[in-house]
Structure 1
């Protein structure tokens, strides 16, 4: 989906990049980078941070389920 200048939108570029990355790497690659990211994040945040984002995610998901009904 290109705009008038025949340039790709950020959304389209991100989707294409994600698809290319997925084709070039296996499940273990993504598990490894996810683990590294989790470890790095855990060094920068405390228990309360994770409780708060978990709460927000749970509330957002509950709202999403409610709107599906």
Structure 2
């Protein structure tokens, strides 16, 4: 990997992207809506845009979603 993909993604950031701080502040709410199938993408488009663009925040989202979705956890 040469880093061009990350640079290209950064340069074409969605203007709705709320950034890491706001996305992390609302992540628990967003994950609950996703788990319930309640239209999180429509309700929080800025968080959706951010999670598509930010690998570390996306990892946190995936981990939290897995944690609340796993009945054995």
Q: TM-score range by the shorter chain?
A: 0.3 to 0.5
TM (norm. structure 2) is: 0.32
Name the one with the larger helix percent: 1
TM (norm. structure 1) is: 0.33
Answer with 1 or 2: which has the greater Rg.
Answer: 1
Q: Which structure would you say has the larger RCO, counting Cα contacts within 8 Å and 6 or more residues apart?
A: 2
